[in-house]
Amino acid sequence: MEKADIDRAHAALVRLRAALATVIVGQDPVIDVVLWALLGRGHVLLEGVPGLGKTLLVRALAKALGLNFSRIQCTPDLMPADILGTNVFSGDGFRFMPGPVFAHIVLADEINRATPKTQSALLEAMQERQVTVANLTHPLPDPFMVLATQNPIEMEGTYPLPEAQVDRFLFKAEVGYPTERELVEIIRRNTEGAGILLPEAALTREEVLLCQRVVQDFPVHAALLEYAARLVRATHPAERGAPEAVKTYVLYGASPRAGLALILGAKARAFLAGRFHLEVEDLQAVFRPALIHRVILNFRAEAEGVSPWQVLAEVLRTVPPP
Amino acid sequence: MAPGERAQRILARVRRGLWLRRGLLASSGAASVALGVAHLARSLGFFISPTLYLAFFVPLVLSVLWPLPWEKRLFWVGRRLRLGGKLAGLAAALNRGTESFLVPLLADLRVPLRRLYFPEALALFPPLLLGVLLVVGPTPVPRVLVTPEPPAQELPQTAEEEEKASLALKTEKEETAIPEIPQLPPGFSGSPPYPHLLSALFGEEVSLEEAVERLAQEEGLLRRLAELLREAQETGLTGEATAEIGEILEELARPDVRETLSQELAEGEEGLAQAEEAVAAALEGLARLQGEATGPEGQGSAQAGGELGDELAYENPDLWGEVVPDVVPNPSPRPEREEAEEGAGLGVGTEEGEEVATGAPEAQEREAQVVSAEVRPGEGPVRTGIHLAFPGESAATGPEIPAGLTPQQVELLLREGALPPELRELVRRYFELLAGGGS
């Protein structure tokens, strides 16, 4: 990779940010997490109440990236074949009809409304980046990114994602309510003129892949790798140096995937910021979205109303940086 | 220069900077400890061998030789140099060989290594301050002198050899016996007693030289007064002589003599004879005191100059009482000296019939012997002019040596200083040591 490639990738990312900003009002932290996941070749779980612009964000992202996009509205009667695709008989025999998962950007809306069987099928595709139907393996397009949404309030008729499957999302983004100023802007844009127009494609597919390759090659100092490992290990209650909050409230700590998420997210964050080196702050900034869905609290924490972030903040405070 | 080579040079500079910083901290810490110990030892009066101070520089040597995990500290260095993670990124890119990342990293990289030393340089101040204090500070007299231990004797192998060895050792001991220094009784301070004795004698803090000068001045006044009184008896008391006598009386240091003479002279012509006798008696006492203060050499001059006083003393021995010398280690070759001592007074000596404490016989023998002992120079001015000698003899063998004190004079001074009898021997030994160290 040449220096010119790095410069081209960075310029493409600048264009992408500008394109998203024309459509999405506020939600900068969510956009950041989505872009980190895109550059880290990961998937994102978006959690928030309805009407906060989650679907709009995903559609705008797909459009700005110049990639194809599909949306899966998850319901209890959704079957795996509805997502993955199926073999259909045509004149000359059976032919594979790809499902909506065969897209660059896939939005799995309200994923917790699908049955565990369907969830598993989707999550397997996310992890393997391929689909096997009737003993035939069909690779998913590259780049491939799933953005799943779930409503944290409405629990009736839902199937919460098992921990093992949640772990396959690189990051979890918590979509917050817009501020008053942002809300005014959202109302104005949706009620005046032609309404919201999706952005034009700001990048090509090759540029997206180039950006992902740059992040993959980004040099990381060994001290930061050790710091990431220490952070992840400190979430385990059996770990000797774990903080007291972890020992008291955590049932299961973060998996090794959390370490990958930390480093990939930190690299992407540094590159998005136009830097060619990592800072300790990069790791600390991605710590929350990378680990918040990977730490399982015990009953005592639930009874005492302790949130995962309260415990993780203690971990971040306790583990010394390099 | 290739980006990789430049990155290597920068990282090498950083590594050297870290070594230097660690050396700086270690050396300043070691120097602080060493100088602190030196200060403490100095204030307590102990002497520490310079080789011991070398032990304090072990941390410095270790800081140079101990491996430095400099790569792990690159983030810390980056924060100190306000470079963030650039140095760590540079090292990571160099290790991975990704030159495409080296170029943008090196583009605007400046490494201000001086920021690495700023707070650490302050660590140099304590040792510097201690060093300056050690150089310019006052030098207290050390209490303890560290002397090397004598080499241990080889053990004899057989009984015969053992006997021979013990015999030889005994003979050697007898030959080179150094008299034991008596120990101070508990509660007695270790300061030299001589200044206290002088101050008790003269009523104020005076040095030996000052005391001799005062006595000479007093003698001159008394001598002139004696002349005036003699002339007045022959030719009658004139107004001029009366005025001069009045002036002399005012200048006299001893108030009792002044009062006696004033009373005698107030009687007119009849009192002149009594006044002359009183002056002669005072001169005699003065000559005795001068002799005690200036030592054998001074006694000669005091006796030569104080002829009148001596004569009067012989004529009138009861005037000042009898002085019995405490210690007579050797018969004096000058009997007139002993006679003078018998007649001299001025408060020194003992009353008739009073038991006199004498020194131990072995101590008397030692008085005439110059004892060599280790004494540090600069112990104080009291040592000047003190020499060990026989009574009535001059210890000064050359013209360059000033007058000294005899052991008898020291004994007299000790008695006058109201020193407890059990301490006199100790003080005598002290003066012997002083005399021995000064010879």
Q: Which chain A residues are closer than 8 Å to B91 by Cβ?
A: 221
What would the pLDDT profile of A113-144 be if each residue is shown by its tens digit?
Answer: 999 999 988 888 898 999 988 888 999 999 99
A49 touches chain B (CB under 8 A): no
- Confidence at residue A299, expressed as pLDDT on a 0 to 100 scale: 94
B105 touches chain A (CB under 8 A): yes
The answer to whether the CB atoms of A222 and B92 lie below 8 A apart is yes
Mean pLDDT for the stretch of residues B65-92: 88
- Confidence at residue B28, expressed as pLDDT on a 0 to 100 scale: 86
Record the tokens describing residue A202, joined without a space: 């700001």
Evaluate whether A263 touches B91 at the Cβ level (below 8 Å). Answer: no
Count A/B contacts: CB-CB distance under 8 Å.
Answer: 67
CA distance B217 to B14: 80
Work out the pLDDT band at A198, boundaries 50, 70, 90. Answer: confident
Residue, of B304 and A108, whose pLDDT is higher: A108
Record the tokens describing residue A295, joined without a space: 């730490």
Whether A264 shows a pLDDT value over 60: the answer reads yes
Mean pLDDT for the stretch of residues A185-200: 81
- Percent pLDDT > 90 in chain A is 65
CA distance B107 to B112: 15
B288 touches chain A (CB under 8 A): no
B95 touches chain A (CB under 8 A): yes
Nearest CA in chain B to A322: B75
- Confidence at residue B294, expressed as pLDDT on a 0 to 100 scale: 55
A2 touches chain B (CB under 8 A): yes
- Confidence at residue A216, expressed as pLDDT on a 0 to 100 scale: 93
- Percent pLDDT > 70 in chain B is 49
Whether B195 shows a pLDDT value over 60: the answer reads no
Work out the pLDDT band at B171, boundaries 50, 70, 90. Answer: low
Alpha carbon A261 to its chain's center: 10
What letter represents residue A293's amino acid?
A: H
From residue B61, give the alpha-carbon distance in Å to each of B35, B67, B120: 18, 12, 18
Mean pLDDT for the stretch of residues B360-375: 43
A224 touches chain B (CB under 8 A): yes
Beta-bridge partners for A138: A131
Name which of A145-154, A202-211, B291-300 the model is least confident about. B291-300
The answer to whether the CB atoms of B86 and A221 lie below 8 A apart is no
Whether A229 shows a pLDDT value over 80: the answer reads yes
CA distance A99 to B254: 133
Work out the pLDDT band at A70, boundaries 50, 70, 90. Answer: very high
A320 touches chain B (CB under 8 A): no
Name which of A171-175, B22-26, B180-184, B412-416 the model is least confident about. B180-184
A266 touches chain B (CB under 8 A): no
Whether B154 shows a pLDDT value over 90: the answer reads no
Whether B203 shows a pLDDT value over 70: the answer reads no
Q: Which chain A residues are closer than 8 Å to B108 by Cβ?
A: none
Whether A101 shows a pLDDT value over 80: the answer reads yes
Nearest CA in chain A to B97: A219
Q: What interhelical angle do A256-272 and A205-217 show, nearest 10?
A: 110
Q: How far is B65 from chain A (nearest CA, A)?
A: 24
Mean pLDDT for the stretch of residues B115-127: 80
Mean pLDDT for the stretch of residues B91-113: 86
- Confidence at residue A81, expressed as pLDDT on a 0 to 100 scale: 93
Nearest CA in chain B to A216: B98
Chosen for mutation from B70, B72, B74, B75 (greatest number of chain A CBs closer than 10 Å) is B75
A5 touches chain B (CB under 8 A): yes
Work out the pLDDT band at B360, boundaries 50, 70, 90. Answer: very low
The answer to whether the CB atoms of A217 and B74 lie below 8 A apart is no
Average pLDDT, chain B: 66
What would the pLDDT profile of B248-264 be if each residue is shown by its tens digit?
Answer: 888 877 777 778 888 88
Nearest CA in chain A to B101: A276
Nearest CB neighbour to A223, from listed B88, B93, B98 = B88
Whether B68 shows a pLDDT value over 90: the answer reads no
B33-59: burial string, b at 16+ Cβ within 10 Å, e else = bbbebbeeebeeeeeeeeeebeebeeb
B83 touches chain A (CB under 8 A): no
From residue A170, give the alpha-carbon distance in Å to each of A68, A145, A258, B14, B58: 21, 11, 8, 37, 52
CA triple B57-B58-B62, angle to 5 deg: 120
Question: How deeply is A256 buried, as exposed, middle or buried, from its count of CB atoms within 10 A (0-12, 13-18, 19+)?
Answer: exposed
Work out the pLDDT band at B117, boundaries 50, 70, 90. Answer: confident
Nearest CB neighbour to A221, from listed B89, B100, B104 = B89
Q: Which of B350-364, B366-380, B417-431 has the highest mean pLDDT?
A: B417-431
Average pLDDT, chain A: 91
Which residue's entry shows tokens 């004096």? Answer: B332
Residue, of A252 and B276, whose pLDDT is higher: A252
Chosen for mutation from A220, A226, A277, A278 (greatest number of chain B CBs closer than 10 Å) is A277
Q: Which of A158-167, A262-271, B262-271 has the highest mean pLDDT?
A: A262-271
- Sign, CA dihedral A172-A178-A181-A187, equals positive
Tell me which long-range contacts B176-184 makes (C-beta under 8 A, separation of at least 24).
Answer: B178/B371, B178/B373, B179/B362, B179/B363, B179/B366, B179/B371, B179/B429, B181/B426, B181/B429, B181/B433, B182/B425, B182/B426, B182/B429, B184/B423, B184/B426
B86 touches chain A (CB under 8 A): yes
Antiparallel, parallel or unpaired: β A296-297 and A250-252: antiparallel
Nearest CB neighbour to A279, from listed B84, B93, B95 = B84
A1 touches chain B (CB under 8 A): yes
Residue, of B44 and A302, whose pLDDT is higher: A302
- Confidence at residue B402, expressed as pLDDT on a 0 to 100 scale: 41
The answer to whether the CB atoms of A220 and B92 lie below 8 A apart is yes
A3 touches chain B (CB under 8 A): yes
The predicted complex's ipTM stands at 0.80
Residue, of B11 and B165, whose pLDDT is higher: B11
Name which of A167-171, A253-257, B12-16, B314-318 the model is least confident about. B314-318
What would the pLDDT profile of A13-48 be if each residue is shown by its tens digit?
Answer: 999 988 888 888 888 899 999 999 999 999 999 998
